[in-house]
Amino acid sequence: MEKTTGVKILGVGRYVPELVATNDDYAKIVETSDEWITQRTGIKTRHISDGEPTYYLGAMSAKEAIENAGIAAEDIGLILVTTCTPDYFTPSTACLIQRELGVVGCPAIDLNCACSGFVYAVDMARRYLLCDDIKYVLVVAAEELSKFVDYSDRSTCILFGDAAAAVVLEKSEDTLFSSFLAADGSGAGYLASRAMLTINPFRQTDSEFDMQMPEPNKHYLLQDGKEVYKFATKAMPYAVEKACEAAGIEPDDLDAIIPHQANIRIIETAAKHLHVPIDKMVLNIADYGNTSSASIPNAFYDGIESGRIKHGDKVCFVGFGGGLTYGACIVEY
């Protein structure tokens, strides 16, 4: 096992809307059933925004993480927010969260790597902590998928929920840290939500530019579930293996793997490929569904709360998602 300069997780926070939608609630709006959703995805309920915006969920989780870390918010040197479901193109969600925290000054950045966002952000946070005069980095994963879900599409709407979770990180010498990040843009069309079309008074062409993407219904999330499934079952174990290789450990040496909570069957397949028991995986998909980049820190939060994850544990965060992006990151909690 190779020790290096990594990150210490000083505090965690989580915030979810109170409103809960059960599988039976979905059966009232699309042709589906509790049995189908439970067997095919492992999801039972999701928390859904009752109007609270993405930045609000993020700010609430950040406040808890800062309090839990026992630091002053003013000492945060960088705010990194992962979201693919922001409230505005500009300002960034990071700036809105900064305003909500009442600490202005430090840089605030949004990262969009879809569901892999948290893994990318932890890696990025470490690089800032290594290079810059920054003592603490606040990473917030805030997502409100309900804004982008097409509630007439039964194959996607049943999957997604809203949540935010945050961590405060500082540099830690002589610890375990490794990461493996990757992307495969050739799969860009498999999971997409459209932004704006080109509209300006100077346009001369009527036809739309061929972006080589599927044509979505407005801005709604469009997913080729089967292709994403195939990609995920390969990408997830591969990323864990690569991160373990870089750390000089085997997957079975990990105390906990915290996977992106997209589908229980994807997680079970990954566990099989990695030759680890399923109880190595920290799961809360049944209660929250897929909350994109918030799903990994949200499961981490539950793992700590329940006592499943303890200080000193070797923990692997592993994600995959739109882009297509994927990656894993190993830390010592």
- What six digits make up the tokens of 106? 């430090």
* H or E, element range at 243: helix 225-247
* Closer residue to ligand UT7 (CB): 179 or 263: 263
* Closer residue to ligand UT7 (CB): 36 or 268: 36
- What six digits make up the tokens of 97? 């969260």
- What six digits make up the tokens of 123? 């890696």
Q: How far apart are CA 99 and CA 253, in angstroms?
A: 41
Provide the minimum distance between the beta carbon of 27 and ligand UT7 in the complex, in angstroms, as a whole number. Answer: 8
* Closer residue to ligand UT7 (CB): 232 or 276: 232
Provide the minimum distance between the beta carbon of 37 and ligand UT7 in the complex, in angstroms, as a whole number. Answer: 6
- List, as own/partner pairs, every contact residues 52-55 make where C-beta atoms lie below 8 angstroms and the sequence separation is at least 24, other chains included: 52/17, 53/87, 53/144, 54/83, 54/85, 54/86, 54/87, 54/93, 54/142, 54/143, 54/144, 54/147, 54/164, 55/86, 55/87, 55/93, 55/96, 55/97, 55/100, 55/142
**Among the listed residues 116, 146, 290, 298, the single contact to ligand UT7 using CB under 6 A:** 290
Binders of ligand UT7 among residues 187 to 246 (CB under 6 A) are 191, 225-226, 228-229, 232
Which residue stretch of 13-21, 102-110, 123-131, 152-160 sits at the interface with ligand UT7 (rule: CB under 6 A)? 152-160
* H or E, element range at 77: strand 76-82
Q: How far apart are CA 89 and CA 244, in angstroms?
A: 36
The DSSP secondary structure of 22-61, one letter per residue, reads EHHHHHTTSS--HHHHHHHH---EEE--SS--HHHHHHHH
* Closer residue to ligand UT7 (CB): 32 or 172: 32
8 A C-beta contact, residue 144 and residue 150? no
Q: What are the backbone angles phi and psi of residue 88, rounded to the nearest 5°? A: -140, 155
**Among the listed residues 49, 92, 263, 293, the single contact to ligand UT7 using CB under 6 A:** 263
Q: At what angle do helices 264-274 and 34-41 cross, to 10 degrees?
A: 20
* Closer residue to ligand UT7 (CB): 73 or 239: 239
Q: How far apart are CA 134 and CA 160, in angstroms?
A: 35
Q: How many residues bind ligand UT7 (CB under 6 A)?
A: 21
8 A C-beta contact, residue 48 and residue 20? yes
145 is an interface residue for ligand UT7 by CB under 6 A: no
Binders of ligand UT7 among residues 155 to 194 (CB under 6 A) are 155, 158, 191
Binders of ligand UT7 among residues 24 to 43 (CB under 6 A) are 32, 36-37, 40-41
8 A C-beta contact, residue 62 and residue 138? yes
Per-residue burial over 206-221, b = 16 or more CB atoms within 10 Å of its CB, e = otherwise: eeeeeeeeeeeeeebb
Catalytic positions, please? 115, 260, 290
115 is an interface residue for ligand UT7 by CB under 6 A: yes
**Among the listed residues 154, 194, 273, 280, the single contact to ligand UT7 using CB under 6 A:** 154
147 is an interface residue for ligand UT7 by CB under 6 A: no
Provide the minimum distance between the beta carbon of 32 and ligand UT7 in the complex, in angstroms, as a whole number. Answer: 3
* Closer residue to ligand UT7 (CB): 130 or 213: 213
Which residue stretch of 53-61, 153-161, 198-206, 306-314 sits at the interface with ligand UT7 (rule: CB under 6 A)? 153-161
Shortest-Cβ-distance residue relative to ligand UT7: 225
Provide the minimum distance between the beta carbon of 107 and ligand UT7 in the complex, in angstroms, as a whole number. Answer: 28
* Residues engaged in binding ligand UT7 (CB under 6 A): 32, 36-37, 40-41, 115, 154-155, 158, 191, 225-226, 228-229, 232, 262-263, 266, 290, 292, 321
